[in-house]
Amino acid sequence: MTTAGTRPFEGVRIIDITHVLAGPFAAYQLALYGADVIKIEHPQEPDQSRESGSDHALNHRLMGTGFLTQASNKRSMTLNLKTEQGKAVLKRLVATADILVENYRPGAFEALGLGYDVLSAINPRLIYASMSAFGQDGPRGGMTAYDHVIQATSGIMAMTGTEDVHPVKFGSPVIDYATGTMGAFALATALFQREKTGIGQRVDMAMLDVAVIMMSSHVADFTRTGNHPKPHGNKQHYATSSAYQTKDGMVMLGASNLRQQKRFWAAVGREDMAKNTNDQRDADAEREFALIAEIMLTRTAVEWEDYLQSRHVPAGRVRQMREALADPQLQSRNVLHRHDGAPGVDGGFTVPVSAFKLAHGGARVDAPPPAFGQHTDAILAELGYAEAAVADLRRAGAV
């Protein structure tokens, strides 16, 4: 019998053979909700995220901030899947698992004799997920890429920037994080389906597909009209829903619909500028842009945000990260977790957790990110390997 405090994925074991960002982030999301995630890394080739971030001392300890971001609650095991002994260990682990997720080049695991057909024969309930740049098939199936390459390939980069400066890559690796988030949804979907069918699933995820989904409205518009989405920077379609310079910084207005734009014009004492239709707004756009630019220079960014929000007009001043993270609203949401330390990490650090809350059984951080191979011996013992057998695996370079 379950209790109200039980997290959704408690009792679920995930073999995480992923690296860098999208794959690890997907597994991390389920780890927060109770899954036992075992991260597999090659003994001589750690996940490159362990060496990424601006803290070079941590990079040298294989505990870079890129890794710390998405490794809480995971256990770390080294395993050389190019050795027969390493493959044997993985197969024994697969027999105990619910999910295996990998994000290597398409065909790589099949070439090792570790494809879906082989592993599902060992465990018919296994959910085998592959995350790649372009998918497991198609003309680009064998190609590789990272977030920024997919941004360029998908068309999302071409629509980003200003009229004068474009294309521009997003400031954060948004395709990676979106793929990781969609990946967590895919894994949860497959688990839910397995509860109905009793059998496992093959999941094929492509970063390019996710990038297209992130442009959904633009795709629909282009396929209908043939109009390519144009980069317009901080200047949005409507003047009352764009960014403007104030006395001391910028404010993004969000008076998008007709009701909101009427509230905006009333708030600035220009009810005469309010429109009754969007066509009227389009026709008078240039005059609106010029007038709002002049009006916004009369107050500071903080003053405008407070003033407009108090009148139910969406508006937010442009903040740097240090300001955003210190926002009491964000603090109240428990979307961040503060670690006092971790193996190889002296002092505290903060990591994002989950982007949604549950009334009970929600996300929780139980353990800090693990050191490279920290749990190898413990996991091998769980699988029934005696100390002598573990020593043999080490001599063979399998772990």
pLDDT on residue 1? 44
Contact call for residues 251 and 244 (beta carbons, < 8 A): yes
Burial class for 130, CB neighbours closer than 10 Å (0-12, 13-18, 19+): buried
d(C-alpha 333, C-alpha 256), whole Å:
26
d(C-alpha 398, C-alpha 87), whole Å:
8
pLDDT on residue 3? 62
- Of the candidates 141, 101, 97, 94, the one whose C-alpha atom is nearest the C-alpha of residue 122 is 94
Contact call for residues 18 and 30 (beta carbons, < 8 A): no
Looking only at the bridges linking them, the beta strands covering 127-132 and 201-206 are: parallel
d(C-alpha 292, C-alpha 269), whole Å:
11
Report DSSP state, residue 345: B
Contact call for residues 132 and 105 (beta carbons, < 8 A): yes
Give the list of residues 6+ apart from residue 18 with CB closer than 8 angstroms, or none.
Answer: 24, 26, 27, 47, 101, 102, 103, 131
Q: What are phi and psi of 385, to 5 degrees?
A: -80, 125
Residues paired with residue 342 on neighbouring β-strands, in sequence order: 345
pLDDT averaged over consecutive 10-residue blocks of the chain (399 residues)?
76 98 98 98 98 97 98 98 98 98 96 98 98 96 95 97 94 97 98 98 98 97 96 94 98 98 98 98 98 98 98 98 94 95 97 96 97 98 98 97
d(C-alpha 126, C-alpha 101), whole Å:
10
Report DSSP state, residue 246: -
pLDDT on residue 274? 98
Give the three-state DSSP class for 45. strand
Instruction: Please report how many Cα atoms fall inside a 13 Å half-sphere around the Cα of residue 158, on the Cβ side.
Output: 11
All structural domains of the chain, each given as residue ranges with its CATH number in brackets, are: 13-214+333-395 (3.40.50.10540), 239-323 (3.30.1540.10)
Residues paired with residue 345 on neighbouring β-strands, in sequence order: 342
d(C-alpha 29, C-alpha 72), whole Å:
10
Looking only at the bridges linking them, the beta strands covering 99-102 and 74-78 are: unpaired
